[in-house]
Structure 1
């Protein structure tokens, strides 16, 4: 997977067009489209990685771990299982109420 295709993929996951991503990163709107032909400057790559909350190594395809602070040995959290088993979840430092846990479970069930 190329730098551009990986950037497109994660950008789409984050709900951003490449134009929007570039503008949020402080780049010209069409600059990311050129990454197939020209390698970006390291500082521009870092800006885009910061907006997408991934590491530059992930964008460059050096790793499949999105975040530099992620540990490959850590298991992904199964949020549906966590909610069903009353594991405490928090958002923005505050516990999620039972009402919102039920709503989240309903939303996750709709995906299945």
Structure 2
């Protein structure tokens, strides 16, 4: 068993911390300072994003939703979205399957 106290991890802004990565999933903790954003992006995997602390706004196709601690969102592979921190935020991102079809690490 692996466990993490997400709020106590020493995570620096702009330096996501991989918590665990195996053949099926990858879990990442992110510190996103208030006012900053993860510009519109997509990943090759299914993505689950949990707000552990702070408050964010997710925009997709012109629709925005906000969430604070305990807010969980799900994105399909290749689904584009933008995430903005309304205040300093700690996020947990789980990607599955890892790596997804089309991920650069699968080439070769």
The structure with more strand, counted as a fraction of residues: 2
Q: Which bin holds the TM-score, normalised by the shorter protein?
A: under 0.3
**TM-score normalised over the length of structure 1:** 0.25
Structure whose CA Rg is larger: 1
The structure with more helix, counted as a fraction of residues: 1
**TM-score normalised over the length of structure 2:** 0.26
Query: Comparing both chains, which one has the higher relative contact order based on Cα–Cα distances under 8 Å and sequence gaps of 6 or more?
Result: 2
